[in-house]
Amino acid sequence: MIGSWIGGVERVAVLTGAGISTDSGIPDYRGPSGVWTLDPALVKAFTYQSFMADPGVRAAFWHTYREHPAWQAQPNAAHHALAGLERSGVAVRVLTQNVDGLQQRAGSSRRKVLELHGTMHEVICTGCGRRTPSEQTMARVEAGDSDPRCTDCGAILKLAVVLFGEHLDPATTGLAERIAANAELLLAVGSSLRVEPVASLCAVAVNAGSRLVIVNRDPTPYDDLAVEIIREPIGVALPQICAAISKTVQAVG
């Protein structure tokens, strides 16, 4: 599983998708039991234009997140492996598509984790831009408010996550591109690599001379660029990879 691509690696970028959190009880989106697979209609609730235009769509969105398993989920072996890699002294940055915050809860430094698609642990007002902890709004939803509004300006509230049709923050994507280009190794873990522009970070890394290793159950559009494709379960493969990288770096040091 671990080949010559690990040699001489000191700077590592890790692009994580929903697959890294499935062992924590959070379903992915496109797998056999994924959110979109089981209920394709929910895609509409996660589309920015529909969310902003339709109170019924917003109600479906808030209902979905009210019962989301991520609120109670705990970091798994893969999250802990990445946090341990940072503690070992390896220069590692995590570029995550996930909004669950589990990587930080596992012990990764907040400044080392770039949340490309936002976070479910904050709510943002679409009018005045005020950010508040999600607990406040979710308590209102739990109490029966299906379309919570900002208490300051009355505008629509949404979780601070990037919905379909919503632009990613240019500063965030620009930083992600620089991290991918400067890494010697980019690990793409648990991502279908079908959501752009984040998936194109793989090409950014390879074009800059980085090695791309994909750890994912299913084929991805970027498999042809990878020096290694690992189909083993993420909870097994990633701890082994992180341990090998750490050992290599310490041996060089």
Domain boundary among 132, 161, 190: 161
| CATH number assigned to the domain comprising residue 15 | 3.40.50.1220
pTM: 0.91
Task: Based on the fold, state whether residues 84 and 200 are members of the same structural domain.
Answer: yes
The 10s digit of each residue's pLDDT in 174-201 is 999 999 999 999 999 999 999 889 999 9
- Mind giving me the DSSP string for 115-132? ETTEEEEEEEETTT--EE
Task: Based on the fold, state whether residues 133 and 103 are members of the same structural domain.
Answer: no
Task: Based on the fold, state whether residues 143 and 241 are members of the same structural domain.
Answer: no
- Domain span at residue 172 reads 4-25+75-117+168-252
| CATH number assigned to the domain comprising residue 39 | 3.30.1600.10
Tell me what pLDDT residue 221 has: 97
Task: Based on the fold, state whether residues 104 and 185 are members of the same structural domain.
Answer: yes
Tell me what pLDDT residue 7 has: 87
Task: Based on the fold, state whether residues 244 and 183 are members of the same structural domain.
Answer: yes
Task: Based on the fold, state whether residues 21 and 33 are members of the same structural domain.
Answer: no
Phi, psi at residue 15, to the nearest 5°? -95, 115
- Judge whether 121 counts as a catalytic residue: no
Task: Based on the fold, state whether residues 8 and 87 are members of the same structural domain.
Answer: yes
- The catalytic position among 79, 117, 121, 167 is 117
Task: Based on the fold, state whether residues 136 and 108 are members of the same structural domain.
Answer: no
Task: Based on the fold, state whether residues 84 and 150 are members of the same structural domain.
Answer: no
Task: Based on the fold, state whether residues 85 and 191 are members of the same structural domain.
Answer: yes
Task: Based on the fold, state whether residues 11 and 81 are members of the same structural domain.
Answer: yes
Token reading at 61: 């969105």
| DSSP H helical ranges for the chain | 35-38, 42-45, 48-53, 55-66, 77-87, 102-105, 134-142, 170-182, 201-207, 234-252
Please say whether the beta carbons of 123 and 136 come within 8 A. yes
Domain boundary among 127, 161, 195: 161
pLDDT-flagged residues of the chain (< 70): 1, 29-45, 250-253
Tell me what pLDDT residue 37 has: 53
Tell me what pLDDT residue 8 has: 83
Q: Which H or E run contains 186?
A: strand 185-189
What residues contact 181, with CB distance under 8 A and at least 6 apart?
204, 205, 207, 208, 210
Task: Based on the fold, state whether residues 188 and 234 are members of the same structural domain.
Answer: yes
Distance CA 86, CA 83 (A): 5
